[in-house]
Amino acid sequence: MTIKESLDKLFSLHNIGIKLGINNIQKFLDQIGNPQSSYKTIHVAGSNGKGSTSAFAASILKEFGFAVGLYSSPHFVRFNERIKINNIEIEDDYIADFVNKYNDLIDHLQLTYFEVTTAMAFQYFDDKKVDYAVIETGLGGRLDATNVLTPEACIITSIGLEHTHILGDTLEKIAGEKAGIIKMNVPVFCGNMSSEAESVIEKKCEELGCRCYKLRDYILKRDDSIELYTEDIEIDDFTTPLRGNYQKLNAALAGLTISKLFDTDDYAHIEKGIRKVLENTGLQGRYEIFNSKPDIIFDSAHNPDGIKEFIEEFKKDSKGYNKKSILFGAMKDKSLKEMLTTLGNHFDNIYVTEIDYERSAKAADLKKIAAEIGLGVEIKTNYVDFITSFLNNNKEDCLVVLGSMYLLGAIKSSLLNKIA
């Protein structure tokens, strides 16, 4: 198969939909030799911050001199972005060879897109002899395809109401699903979360004999700075290229994890890994300045908590703009009314759009929901033309492109193709 044929095959597996549970992927992994058992892993789950925290952890490990695999989802422009080693993407030839080699088995087991991609990442990291792999869950934790791992550490970044039709309609139920990645005697690192969610994770740790490290016990907040303290390291007001205090918390959680995992007082490598996260991992879509004057900001906040965090950071700049506009799109299983309500208080113009993806909320539905809360929005079907025309606006205007990573990926890919 060519790379195009292989990717077409992979993307066609979206038609199978989401199949929760690990039995299917475990059968496949058994057939190919369980490659995920040949290297050390860190498993990351959470409602918000798991992608950034995974990237910070991988970046720190790289600064310690390790060959580090990073598996994340979704991708923005290229499928290859999902599977990296020290910020080098998986090769086209490897993807094509993997799909071609296991095509019949993939069909026989009726594997999903995410199951095949996960198995490919596991095999690739084995073949390339990584020392560590940081593995981000796709959806939830307990029934996620990545949950075949016995990791060195588990990280649970945050708990919020998301995918409630699948994970449950309370914070406790969702925490229970995320806590499903916890394994016997494996240390667990928790980001800041509600007491209800935290108690569920603590109980799971007690049942499985796991040490539970809570980030709030190791940080001090001083205005816009975060200080990380353990028995071994002290990092005062560390810097990260990612905007927002919430990103400093993600960085601190990753730093705490590596510090405790290695029992190290080497704060310099941890601090350097935090500072070089973009260079070391290629992380995208986190308060990303796509253009300046006029400013175009891409951010992948895709649920109510994420949007509130984005807005807190955006308010630091918003008074300096002449006019503030937002282009918003989301998946239809999200809390659309709550997100639109929050956005309505902070922008002069609100535009909605959609992408060609079965989970995407229709722009017409977003407009209808907005009308229910007294919010006037305008549909922009051709988001590429809209964004490129915005470049001719007043240099002091701002456009925020916000929502699902799938939306941002489709927009970035189309924009880059147009520019090329």
CB 133 within 8 A of CB 40: yes
User: What's the pLDDT score for residue 419?
Assistant: 61
Q: Which two tokens stand for residue 170?
A: 């309370």
Please report which residue ranges of 290-335 form alpha helices under DSSP H: 304-318
**Domain containing residue 394: CATH number:** 3.90.190.20
User: What's the pLDDT score for residue 358?
Assistant: 80
Please count the structural domains in the chain: 2
Same domain, 170 and 208: yes
Pairing of strands 88-89, 83-85: antiparallel
| Structural Rg of the chain based on CA atoms | 21
Same domain, 276 and 308: no
Same domain, 204 and 317: no
Query: Which residues in the chain come in under a pLDDT of 70?
Result: 162-166, 419-420
Same domain, 230 and 354: no
Choose the final residue of a domain: 252, 281, 310: 281
* Dihedral, CA of residue 225, residue 229, residue 232 and residue 237, to nearest 10: 10
Choose the final residue of a domain: 265, 281, 297: 281
User: What's the pLDDT score for residue 164?
Assistant: 59
- Dmax over CA atoms of the chain, in Å, equals 60
Same domain, 376 and 239: no
User: What long-range pairs does 316-322 form, CB within 8 A, spacing at least 24?
Assistant: 317/398, 318/346, 318/398, 320/396, 321/295, 321/396, 321/397, 321/398, 322/394, 322/396, 322/397
pLDDT tens sequence across 96-140: 999 999 999 999 999 999 999 999 999 999 999 999 999 999 988
Same domain, 338 and 270: no
User: What's the pLDDT score for residue 359?
Assistant: 82
| DSSP-based three-state secondary structure for 357 | coil
Same domain, 239 and 362: no
User: What's the pLDDT score for residue 163?
Assistant: 66
User: What's the pLDDT score for residue 69?
Assistant: 98
Q: Which two tokens stand for residue 406?
A: 């799938």
User: What's the pLDDT score for residue 375?
Assistant: 95
Choose the final residue of a domain: 281, 311, 346: 281
Which residues span the domain enclosing 405?
288-419
Q: Give the CA distances from residue 176 to residues 25, 197, 254, in Å, rounded to whole numbers and listed in that order.
A: 22, 8, 22
Residues 6 or more apart whose Cβ sits within 8 Å of residue 208: 182, 183, 184, 185, 186
Q: How far apart are CA 242 and CA 213, in angstroms?
A: 24
**Domain containing residue 101: CATH number:** 3.40.1190.10
Same domain, 216 and 174: yes
User: What's the pLDDT score for residue 333?
Assistant: 80
Same domain, 303 and 167: no
Same domain, 277 and 303: no
Same domain, 270 and 331: no
pLDDT tens sequence across 315-340: 999 999 999 999 999 988 888 999 99
Same domain, 292 and 277: no
Q: How far apart are CA 330 and CA 312, in angstroms?
A: 20
